[in-house]
Structure 1
């Protein structure tokens, strides 16, 4: 991630602002938010409102700036570990199972190197103790990725995975997850299907394809083709995410393929 070197080196000229800027600033030891924080707070809507006004950037006389793609990468990275921090702290303490799930997410899914893992952990720790809410982080994430439903689904996937790491999803965790679905405009049906991947095994393969067992063969084929197109590596890569997150999306692509292969074999298609 090219933006990460700029952050660690202290040469960054772009300031995120808002709650994510505050967390990132504390994690990297930079002062990202100043006047911009006031601008962000004045623009925050009710989560049921029509939109979110994204604060502008500000230069601090640094040697370097972030490109638009690097900016999106920074938002995704910071938002992911900030929201995970709030989810894990929902029941009062971060459990070993939750730590293990996040560790797996960093190493296996994102394949982060040691320095990137340390950065993610710093962001996580800062967010755990931040006075900002889960909703505040989710709103700022959505302001950047509102037009990219596949990226939103990937975020919901990891939030659910970590929430279910203890074998079930608590009522407080569920409250945050449902709040995320409202902020992200993520449908209840999609949420139920995604959740079923982690809280039960029934209909697992149909849930991956977002189909019911009663769906016809043609409906299943149509849905498979739709998802394969949406999660194709080339299409995901064009969104400007870093390689680590593209790998995560590619795993989703493989999951879709495996689910369809299983159903084909089961139905003898």
Structure 2
């Protein structure tokens, strides 16, 4: 029940207080002051009534949600189309998160943005990693949500797993941590009952996907020679060296992006170096 204050309350109180303190003159001044109070009180209440109702999510949660919804749409579209099962998985997530009507509409819009090729994904992931730099569990939860989307339509596509592999350095998540999440989800989906041969094939496929991602990071393909890989690695590391980036007068955000690019290059080269005995 809401207590309603009469619109003339200020004038009545001002008149009474003014009369007690200053007689009839005080009464007149009290009415004038009370009228001013009533007028401004109505204006303030009108302004407050136009403000959004309900608690808004914290900045950290807003960054998490927006990045998640965009990445879900991006991942669902990796095989060229978004299936009804993937849409249903997104809707189920919105329901679990107890989104209000406006929040749900915003989530759908972000999901649709993620389906567009021009949508920038890496920047959102870097922002998420910075915001949750000391909360790895939250970043792992984010990746787990994406894995569930990959399994929404009967199992992940190679293109989806490739994109998830590319997200790992941006989220500062190790390959072993991703494999643990993936294995747990596979088991929960009933994939653990497959034969040892199939499991071996799965592990081999994951290794091949890692190599594909490594070649792509260096801008090469599997036909590149060992010498070409070495030269490309040195050239890219020289281009992304912190001292050289600072000398170019880049913004802090650009410097941070260059740092992560250098890390990606180093990780890709280390993987290829091990696989090819360079």
TM-score by length of 1: 0.47
Q: For the pair shown, which has the larger CA radius of gyration, 1 or 2?
A: 2
Which of the two has greater helix per residue?
Answer: 2
Q: Kindly indicate whether structure 1 or structure 2 has the higher relative contact order, using CA contacts under 8 Å at least 6 residues apart.
A: 1
TM-score (norm 2): 0.45
